[in-house]
Amino acid sequence: MSAPTVRRRRLGAKLRDLRGSLTLDEVAERSGGTFISSKLSRMETGKSATKAKDVEALLDLYVELGREVSDELRAALVTLTKEGGRRGWWHSYRGVLTPVYEDLISLEAEAESVSSWQLGVIPGLLQTGEYAREIIRATAMSEAVEARVDALVEVRLARQAVLTREDPLALWAIIAEQSLRSTSEADGLMHEQLGRLLTMGRRPNVNIQVLPADASLHVGQLGSFTILGFGPHADLDVVHTEGLTSALYVEEGDKVAAHRDAWQRLTSAALSVEASAELITEIRKNA
């Protein structure tokens, strides 16, 4: 039995919400034999992959029981289910990626929006290949990571396709000014990276703000985070945080809401998109 992924947990959490005060046995009984309680339990805990037809049938049952299931919610939950069974391009890197990183890539592929606050680095979705290579090497804390730098760079660049696909991901990145002023022994590395930010920032689905170095004390100083949004159903959103040797997901509704509040504070504290582009241009002149 596989461990539940973020996607499965989000699906299961919503199904539990729809069940409400009913027990699993009561839902199974009212399904007329379509479901048994053990299967419903596996769907809610995410301990095994769920079929889209089962989710559809369960949602139909909940509608009959008086639950409100909008077309948008149905589509979102079915998408979570179908994507869970799809083999994405990242599966070919299974020996390179951690399960948490695989989750991040699959969630980026499904999300409608990504709101990223980065305290120390340029967001991965906006990195050039050379910058990615340098930052992966600089933060590698094990020989295993050092041995697969090339593959990790390939993965990071491949992730960026979500920004240029037919229905592109909406990315809003807030970057601390000190990240833009990083130095490297590689000639021209930051000049090229800052140029990449300016180019991507002109895309209609990408907004980039800079939080200036002289800003007042702010909530972002507690660490970087990324909010992956799934449209009108905020209860499906998830927060990704990453440390030196580990990464984790924040899924509890109140904690996700706290990160949204923090995000709003950061957007207010940061320079406007236009002023940010001007600052990036100025910094680039000396990079």
| 93 domain-assigned | no
Which pLDDT value is given to residue 1? 36
| 146 domain-assigned | no
Q: Which residue has tokens 């241009």?
A: 281
Cβ–Cβ contacts within 10 Å for residue 21, how many? Answer: 5
The string of DSSP letters for 101-124 reads HHHHHHHHHH-SEEEEEESSS--G
The reply to whether 16 and 109 lie within a common domain is: no
Domain count, the chain: 2
The reply to whether 81 and 105 lie within a common domain is: no
Which pLDDT value is given to residue 2? 44
**Grouped pLDDT means (10 residues each) for the chain, 287 residues:** 66 90 93 92 84 93 92 85 70 85 88 95 97 92 83 95 96 98 92 98 98 94 94 84 87 93 97 98 95
| 191 domain-assigned | yes
Contact by Cβ (8 Å): 205, 99: no
The reply to whether 217 and 107 lie within a common domain is: yes
Contact by Cβ (8 Å): 223, 258: no
Per the structure, the complete domain to which residue 226 belongs is given by 98-127+157-285
| 49 domain-assigned | yes
The string of DSSP letters for 130-187 reads HHHHHHHHHH--SHHHHHTHHHHHHHHHHHGGGGTSSSPPEEEEEEEHHHHT---SST
CATH number at residue 55: 1.10.260
The reply to whether 106 and 76 lie within a common domain is: no
- Among 63, 85, 107, identify where a domain stops: 85
User: Looking at the whole model, is its pTM more than 0.85?
Assistant: no
Q: Please provide residue 115's backbone torsions phi and psi, each rounded to the nearest 5 degrees.
A: -115, 110
Output b/e per residue, 215-254; b: 16+ Cβ within 10 A. beebbbeeebbbbbbbeebeebbbbbebeeeeeebbbeee
Q: Please provide residue 206's backbone torsions phi and psi, each rounded to the nearest 5 degrees.
A: -125, 125
The reply to whether 166 and 46 lie within a common domain is: no
Cα–Cα distances in angstroms (integers) from residue 121 to residues 37, 176, 191, 259, in the given order: 47, 8, 15, 19
The reply to whether 109 and 41 lie within a common domain is: no
Which pLDDT value is given to residue 81? 82
The reply to whether 196 and 230 lie within a common domain is: yes
Contact by Cβ (8 Å): 171, 207: yes
The reply to whether 81 and 179 lie within a common domain is: no
Query: What are 91-115's pLDDT values in tens digits?
Result: 888 888 888 888 899 889 888 999 9
| 109 domain-assigned | yes
The reply to whether 66 and 185 lie within a common domain is: no
Cβ–Cβ contacts within 10 Å for residue 113, how many? Answer: 15
CATH number at residue 188: 3.30.870.10
| 134 domain-assigned | no
The reply to whether 122 and 78 lie within a common domain is: no
The reply to whether 195 and 81 lie within a common domain is: no
| 142 domain-assigned | no
The reply to whether 33 and 170 lie within a common domain is: no
